[in-house]
Amino acid sequence: MPELPEVETVVRGLSPLLMGRRLSRVIARRPDLRWPLPDDLAQRLSGATVTGLRRRAKYGLLETDRGDTLIFHLGMSGKFHQLAGEPGLHDHVLFELPGLTLAYNDHRRFGSMHLAPTEGVADHPLLRQLGPEPLSDAFSPAWLAAKAAGRSTSIKALILDQQTVAGIGNIYACEALFQAGISPTRKAGAVSAARLSALVAALKATLDRAIAAGGSTLRDHAQVSGDLGYFQHSFLVYGREGQACPACGGPIRRRVQSGRSSFHCPACQR
């Protein structure tokens, strides 16, 4: 499932195509994705001008001059692409502009689209419980230390909790924990303040590098341009079970935590 870098890459790819431009027509070619599409989606977006485009956690937010915000989630296989001819079977929502048609394509249909008033959008049920953005100053060592204090849950589970920090998924949690030298199974409350500070720095650095590389393409992710992400070629531990640790040369191990694979080096991560 796309994580923060993949969604950020998509939002950045959409911005030069949509910002300040009028949506001539929006067409919903089916009534639902993961959940039903708003009945008035086409009516409220057709003729509107895009005034803002940003990301919040793993959601994209498209704001219009009508006071509406389209909240979209890519699910497992969602992507936007420029339509060159007739729409394909899985091009479910079309955004027509003068000289350009963007299609939202999602063959698994785990993505979603919602409309909400721009004013107060932060209070939408999908957004209101989210923690700080990991690349913001609000996500600090002091913040993470406060969240970890006295907690018996694992440190990995803590940083995957979207109320602790928004947008972190399994891939980047594994990579950052390795860089910080922290075992994914260590109890959050047992991680020292110094190591939590190192984890915050590792998360920020990992996300920055992943965004610069266009995200990670493991199966379905593609940029709006059609280019794939390339960060998967830089993974230090994720998906590398049995391969040599880049730090000590020992084997990378995989274990399952809460139904998710954790890749780590037992020698380097404590």
Which residues have a catalytic role annotated? 2-3, 58, 260
Sheet holding 68-73, edge to edge: 50-56, 59-64, 68-73, 112-117
DSSP at 134: T
Q: Are 52 and 71 in contact (CB under 8 A)?
A: no
3-state secondary structure of 173: helix
For residue 188, how many other CB atoms are within 10 A of its CB?
Answer: 24
DSSP at 252: P
DSSP at 194: H
Separation of alpha carbons 53 and 16, rounded Å:
10
Q: At what angle do helices 170-180 and 193-212 cross, to 10 degrees?
A: 130
Q: Are 79 and 105 in contact (CB under 8 A)?
A: yes
